[in-house]
Structure 1
Amino acid sequence: MAILLCAAVLPAQAERADSAQPLAFDAGRMVLDGKRKVRVLSGGVEITRGTLQLKAAQVELKETPQGGQFAVATAADGQLVAFRQKREGLDEIVEGQSRRIEYDSASETVRFLGQAQVRVLRAGAPADQVSGQVIVYDHVRDVFEVQGGGASSPSSATPGGAAAPGRVRGVLTPRASSGASAPAAPAEGAR
């Protein structure tokens, strides 16, 4: 199984203020199981927590013993779950999609499962992108882990930019240098 740690490649740290925000949701229907402390939301579910946004067909939201939330978001047939969050102190947004997303508010970890793709937008423009079968976005450690999963395939990327089974794919855009200048002129007397 192919594994790539992208800590230096795709740095990611969520807005610190997000963890102090309440988790709000909008859905077509909610079923509450008070004994199990589980809410099942369905019908075009949208969850927000500060700058974090999660959109799915269905979300099972569990309360953890520590008082946090653990969400399992699933997509409708032929669709993907969407995630978006601003990075701390930067003009960057991390957004991603997959068949299933698991969000743990206590560990500030997001797991993208199945046809996973994550992008970094800098100043609103697409920058870095990575795809695989599983992507773990760990806010606290500032790390992305990407797994290809399945058997390797020599075929190219699948439609929509997703990685072929067994492979991790990515595109990295250089960061603009704040001190960039024109090439230096040749020294006097040099020809």
Structure 2
Amino acid sequence: MKKLFAAAIFLLVPLAASAEKADALKPINIQFDKSDVDQVTQNYIATGNVVITRGTMVLKSDRAEVKEAPDGYRTFILIAAPGKLATFRQKRDGGPDLWAEGQAQRIEYDERADLVKLFSKAVIKQLEGQKITQEMDSEFISYDSRKEVLVGRNDPAGADVQGKGRGSITLAPRRAQAAAPAAGASAAEKK
């Protein structure tokens, strides 16, 4: 089973594409119902219908915390209200209409490492336009955009706990379907 799971992860790697690199240098816009800002520690907490946008990246949750390190890199922590899910969506490099989107009860994004972690009821999808090209669901998902590696575990803390549950991966076909023989083909062509 572990070999099958590892093989499935290796199949995902070629399909993955990193987040749009241009977003990293775009301004961050945070919309909220309530906010608390500590300018000394560069810690921003927003609550109530929070929407964070940065270029093509859109993060939504009931509560968000944005922490800025002295060197300017930020960490985003999104927490959904009970019974709801936090979400993210971002354009991927590699084509005109490639997207990554995900949801979970808690989402953490470390822009220095370009690492997204999804905790509890985690789902991550890669799309071409509206078409899902791959999807993974598990209790915990880690997506390293730089290395293009997805990791799924059956425990929200990121552990692999025997008997705790299962995740799933769905991969869309990548090659074109073979054309069917013409309906009017002669008997000689069939032999």
Q: TM-score range by the shorter chain?
A: 0.7 to 0.9
Structure-1 residue corresponding to 2:145: 139
Displacement, 1:126? Answer: 2.4
Structure-1 residue corresponding to 2:36: 31
Displacement, 1:56? Answer: 0.3
Displacement, 1:86? Answer: 1.0
Amino acid at match of 1:129: E
Structure-2 residue corresponding to 1:160: none
**Superimposed CA distance per residue, residues 56-84 of structure 1 (whole angstroms, 9 cap, x where no aligned partner):** 00001111122111111100110000011
**Where does the alignment leave 5 or more consecutive residues of structure 2 unmatched?**
183-187
**Where does the alignment leave 5 or more consecutive residues of structure 1 unmatched?**
154-164
For the aligned residue pairs, the C-alpha RMSD in angstroms reads: 2.4
Which range is displaced more, 120-129 or 77-86?
120-129
TM-score (norm 2): 0.81
Structure-2 residue corresponding to 1:127: 133
Q: Report the Cα distance in structure 2 between the residues aligned to 1:55 and 1:61, rounded to whole angstroms.
A: 13
Structure-2 residue corresponding to 1:111: 117
Matched, 1:6 2:12: no
Q: Which runs of 4+ in 1 moved over 6 A?
A: none
Structure-2 residue corresponding to 1:63: 68
Displacement, 1:113? Answer: 0.8
Displacement, 1:123? Answer: 2.4
Q: Report the Cα distance in structure 1 between the residues aligned to 2:166 and 2:90, rounded to whole angstroms.
A: 26
Is contact 1:152–1:167 with CA below 8 Å preserved after alignment? Answer: no
* Sequence identity (%): 31
- Larger RCO of the pair (alpha carbons < 8 Å, separation 6+): 1
Matched, 1:182 2:179: yes
What SS does the corresponding residue of 1:88 show, helix, strand or coil?
Answer: coil
Higher helix share: 2
Amino acid at match of 1:145: V
The number of aligned residues is 176
Is contact 2:17–2:94 with CA below 8 Å preserved after alignment? Answer: no
